Structure 1
Amino acid sequence: MSIEVQNISKSYGAQKALDNVSFSIKKGEIVGFLGPNGAGKSTLMKILTTFINADEGTASVNGNDVNEAQLKVQQSVGYLPEHNPLYLDLYVREYLEFNADVYKVAKSRIEEVIQLTGLTPESHKKIGQLSKGYRQRVGLATALLHNPDVLILDEPTTGLDPNQLVEIRNVIKNVGKDKTVFLSTHIMQEVEAICDRVIIIDNGKIVTDKKLDNLFSANKEQIIEVEFDDKVSEEAIACIPHLKSYKNNHENTWELTFLSEKDMRPTVFDFAHDNGLRTLQLNQKNKNLEQIFREKTKK
């Protein structure tokens, strides 16, 4: 396993940031780590990168224990923290050269990561002159500099505009072909676009750990929005088979939530026919990751 976490707990005073957390990640997986603010995401990432120690439990990266083999862990991990620490007075290439010396990697690698992260147009500037988005790219380039086996990215696309978002997503997806990527983000579309699997943490506990495809297929709820040509009573709506809940959005428009593996659209058409109604509009609204996230972390 690239990352192994077993029964990790961590407290800050009376506050329990992580509560008996366990999971493992295989080489080549791109895993999204989701949770509300304060759920414990950054704390776990700091433990995996040897910045802090857990109170209980064990963790390893590439088979190296994060407490007993810290240097080996640091050599095999590329880490982009949430608050990207940079020397603003250094030029981009100067900063990457400094880090290349620390990691003892060839200077030729600097140009490779500059091109890989799309830094070329800004690489002649001081870091302090860069936009927030380009500073994130410098952080990502630094994380990739020593060609690590594991990438741990805490909010890697913070401050990027929509075009930059797509570019960095592609970078992460490409490097994820031969690396393990463990990333946290609040952008659900990012997880759906990049990740193979999602782990959701809430109040320091894992509440979901599934492959993305399985997460959606396990959800049997269907939401159908339908507009009829005339009014229909609540009592009549409530009699539709497999209906879990319903809501009258506007006049003759209803949002119907079904609990069934069967496609319920024909049932809605049959209901309209049997009640002398015409269906003016019908849309199936599949539950997305954001809705699932809200359900799993709802207090």
Structure 2
Amino acid sequence: MPRAAVRLSRVTRLFDGRAAVNQVSLEIAVGETVWLRGWNGSGKSTLLRLIATAISPTFGDGSVLGFDLQKQRNAIRARTDLLGHETRMYDDLTASENLRFACSLYDLDVRSVESALERVGLDGVAAVRLGSFSQGMRQRLALARCLMRTPTLILLDEPYAGLDVDARVVVDDLLTAAHAGGQTVVLASHEAPPAHLIAREVLMDGGRLAEGGHLTAPTVAAPS
């Protein structure tokens, strides 16, 4: 296992000529839990998607878990789980069927499905199709999949959004279990996670890592 779970060198991602992530160099140690914070539009979600290989950098290079960010994408994906706004679940399958499908993809024991649903409080709706789930329930199911997989690197994009108090505890439990298991976590959130679960804060501002630990307030247009 490499010392650095994530190593980025001058990574930039352009959308229509605009840099959503701009010249980011970052190193995250194996087993570290990092809180990535910044205003909306600061580039947090784009950075997580780059690390997860959901998108490729326009410029720059890096490695994730010792694998090249652009040349060994499948190896990275096999060891990484991104919990973002898109849960990558299927509306026409039930909660249980979605997790069973994940078991077939990742060679997991299907006997873990029942306990995973129970841990996130969805055991009572295991036979209900995902199409009728609220966003919060979808987030819970995505957390259940992550709990089953135990990936080496966990990337969480606003994991507390849309969750009630009980489900927020599930996120905190996931962070606690990840720390105990030596997993690496990068958590992008407006809301501060429990301080004792975080090893380090990384600030983003305007697509760059913020200097001096300060964020510039976003400009708000004056009413016309």
Report the TM range for the smaller structure's normalisation.
0.7 to 0.9
**1:52 and 2:59 are equivalent in the alignment:** no
Which structure 1 residue ranges, 5 or more long, are not aligned?
210-291
| Aligned equivalents of 1:56, 1:44: Cα separation in 2 | 13
Structure 1 contact 199–208 (Cα < 8 Å) conserved: no
Output one character per residue of 1:238-264: Cα deviation in whole Å (capped at 9) or x when no partner.
xxxxxxxxxxxxxxxxxxxxxxxxxxx
Give the greater-gyration-radius structure (CA).
Answer: 1
**1:31 and 2:23 are equivalent in the alignment:** no
1:181 to 182, 185, 193: 185
Structure 1 stretches of 4+ with a deviation exceeding 6 A read none
Alignment identity in percent?
28
Structure 1 contact 122–130 (Cα < 8 Å) conserved: no
**1:68 and 2:71 are equivalent in the alignment:** yes
| Aligned equivalents of 2:30, 2:116: Cα separation in 1 | 22
**1:107 and 2:26 are equivalent in the alignment:** no
TM-score by length of 1: 0.66
1:146 Cα deviation after fit = 2.7
Structure 2 contact 6–65 (Cα < 8 Å) conserved: yes
| Aligned equivalents of 1:120, 1:161: Cα separation in 2 | 17
1:122 Cα deviation after fit = 2.8
Match of 2:164 in 1: 161
Q: Do the aligned partners of residues 112 and 60 (structure 1) sit closer, same or farther apart at CA in structure 2, a change above 3 Å counting?
A: farther
Question: Which structure shows the higher strand fraction?
Answer: 1
Compare relative contact order (CA 8 Å, sep 6+) and give the higher one, 1 or 2.
Answer: 2
| Aligned equivalents of 1:121, 1:297: Cα separation in 2 | 45
1:191 Cα deviation after fit = 5.5
> What is the CA RMSD across the aligned residues, in angstroms?
2.0
Match of 1:197 in 2: 200
Q: SS of the counterpart of 1:28? A: coil
Count, aligned residues: 214
1:2 to 1, 5, 22: 5
Match of 2:136 in 1: 133
1:15 Cα deviation after fit = 1.3
| Aligned equivalents of 1:112, 1:132: Cα separation in 2 | 21
Q: SS of the counterpart of 2:114? A: helix
Q: Which amino acid aligns with 2:92?
A: D
